[in-house]
Amino acid sequence: MPEYYRPLPPLNALRAFEAAGRKLNFRAAADELFVTQGAVAQQVRTLEEHMGFPLFQRLPKGVALTSQGTIYFAEVTRAFDILKKATAQILKEPNTVTISVTPTFATKLLLPQLSSLTNAVPEADLRTVATESIADFDRDQVDIAVRLTRPPFPASFETQLLFTQKLVPVASPHLISHITLPISLNHLRDMTLLHDSHNHWPRFFNTTDKLSGTVFNQTALTIDAALAGQGVAIACQVFVQADLSAGRLVQVSDSILTVEPDYYLVRKRTSNSRPTVDAVWNWCIKNLAIN
């Protein structure tokens, strides 16, 4: 490998840098990207570490590009514009509707109802992207997204609350067949706990102690592990309701933890919205929103 070769920076870091460079404010960039201010700051730090020099000057109110940051910002913007135009040329399909959702939302809610959606909007050529990465509606050619977020929202976006996060501990009935339910929190804490990247168990137990158990990078994987009898998972009740109703999982404790942010349906406001996108948007509100 040539000595001058250097891997490209992570795409999420470049997206965060470009948004922060336009807004000159991490909070404003976070609002646009539907992530936290801390996530934008971390992505920018990751990029600065990769580059080996600072890209921003941190000011009391907002940020300012350094001289090197200004040069890099211009080139990154130009590169994104090239990618946007190339993607638009390839995806010039008026009936294509791209929905970006989190992996757990995709597997537990959207996919089980996908045939219903295609029957309701047969003219739509659906494209589903399951990711928790920062989404840029224009550059990623995304029409509708489902994201964990909270108000206030930028005026350029239309949003619809789908449901709040009410977390419940669940396990396979085979795992707890010898236990009388509901179990106490002390008993639950001694069981094998299944963790995901959101790490809600410490808050559920109201503790700062490190809790043992297997760690997965996605909630869907913890639910699958619970279904397989590998331990107890904590998950949004909406995601496990079908399994609870079918008896594949049982709620092992009466305790429920409500956390933020909430799940929202999101799209960019436009004066020339496509009827196919509107139809999919309305179907999502009718079939995926939980009162």
Q: How many C-beta neighbours within 10 Å does residue 177 have?
A: 9
CATH value of 11-89 in 1.25.40.10, 3.40.1350.10, 1.10.10.10, 1.10.645.10: 1.10.10.10
pLDDT tens column, 246-282: 999 999 999 999 999 999 999 998 877 889 999 999 9
User: Can you tell me the mean pLDDT for 81-98?
Assistant: 76
Cα 113 off chain centre by: 19
Place 154 in a pLDDT band, splitting at 50, 70 and 90: confident
Check residue 270 and give its pLDDT: 84
Instruction: Read off the pTM.
Output: 0.69
Query: What is the fold of 144-291?
Result: D-Maltodextrin-Binding Protein; domain 2 (3.40.190)
For the chain, the structural domain boundaries read 11-89, 144-291
Query: Percent of the chain, pLDDT > 70?
Result: 95
1, pLDDT greater than 50: no
pLDDT tens column, 226-243: 999 999 999 999 999 999
Distance CA 243, CA 235 (A): 12
The one-letter code for the residue type at 113 is Q
Dihedral angle sign, alpha carbons of residues 156, 102, 246, 189? negative
215, pLDDT greater than 80: yes
Q: What angle do CA 78, 80, 86 make, to 5 degrees?
A: 105
pLDDT tens column, 20-73: 999 999 999 998 898 899 999 999 999 999 999 999 999 988 899 999 999 999
